[in-house]
Amino acid sequence: MSVVVLPLPGAEAQAASLAQLLDATAGSLEFRRFPDGESYYRIASDVSDCDVVVVGALRDPDPLALGLWYVADTAREMGARRIGLVAPYLPYMRQDARFRDGEAVTSRSFGRFVSQAFDWLVTVDPHLHRYPTLDIVYSIPSVVVPSAPAIARWLQANVTRPVVIGPDSESEQWAGDVARRVGCPSQVLTKTRLGDRHVEISLPEPGLAEGRQPVLVDDIISSGHTMAEAVRHVRSAFGAAPLCVGVHALFAPEARRLLLDAGASQVLTCNTVPDASNAVDVLPDIAAAVRPLLQAGA
């Protein structure tokens, strides 16, 4: 079975590494915008009778969303067998309920859209808060790759005596898993969100961190306010500058400055969203999840 890995614009480095890990062909996709803003896509690799893995860097999904459809549809027209999507960061998962009448529950609409274009989906730690599993919103087979093993590998290699701290109750799933794998204590703070850019966080138990390096772990760093507030409390309670680990580096323009001003010792992320802060490599874990899907369709 031949496998071609195609990058959507912005995912070239991720796709090249994934192709190498999968021992697949690194395919080429040409893309440009016409002066009126419409998109031009060309699959410049032979995909006929191949399994195609499309890799999307979907931090800013709207300009690329139609491209997901165009590329999958074109690959099918060119005779591809099965077409999977690797979206290391899966967008639109946070709008997971209709909080006000008439609101678009974009997680569900985006899920239906992707499920029509692709045969399977692999992603890393999607924001599963009100949905217990991705199957609620994606009707195609999907695999969730946990970032905890890769983060734990990084901490084991780079940090002595960490204590892992999640900034809110939702982050328990990541913080607890990382701590168990590293074999260190963990703690979760209590967050109250007062607005898009205003959060309050409870004080942790200082005794837990005695002689340990605090490591804050969260799935998403977006505005940076959740992490920055946690940094301030950890600093005042533990008297030590925490290391911040985010799975997905969404980073609104002011986020990095907020975290450094709050006193983070270092801010690093997984390579699910291409960014200078990427230090934790989750691509081997993604490749391990993709292989069985390719074999299942062989």
Please enumerate in sequence order all residues whose Cβ is within 8 A of that of 4, keeping only pairs 6 or more positions apart, or say none.
24, 25, 27, 45, 46, 47, 50, 51, 52, 53, 80
Least distance in angstroms from the C-beta of 199 to ligand R5P: 6
Residue number, 19 or 250, with CB nearest to ligand R5P:
250
Least distance in angstroms from the C-beta of 258 to ligand R5P: 9
Residue number, 73 or 254, with CB nearest to ligand R5P:
254
Lookup: tokens for 234? 């950890």
Residue that is written with structure tokens 């905890």 in the block: 148
Residue number, 222 or 277, with CB nearest to ligand R5P:
222
Lookup: tokens for 126? 């999607």
SS3 content of the chain, % helix, strand, coil (to 5): 35, 25, 40
Query: Which residues here bind ligand R5P, judged by CB under 6 A?
Result: 168, 170-171, 218-227
Residue number, 115 or 171, with CB nearest to ligand R5P:
171
Residue number, 84 or 166, with CB nearest to ligand R5P:
166
Amino acid found at 186: S
Least distance in angstroms from the C-beta of 164 to ligand R5P: 15
Amino acid found at 7: P
Least distance in angstroms from the C-beta of 6 to ligand R5P: 29
Least distance in angstroms from the C-beta of 168 to ligand R5P: 6
* Exposed/middle/buried for residue 35 (C-beta within 10 Å: 0-12, 13-18, 19+): exposed
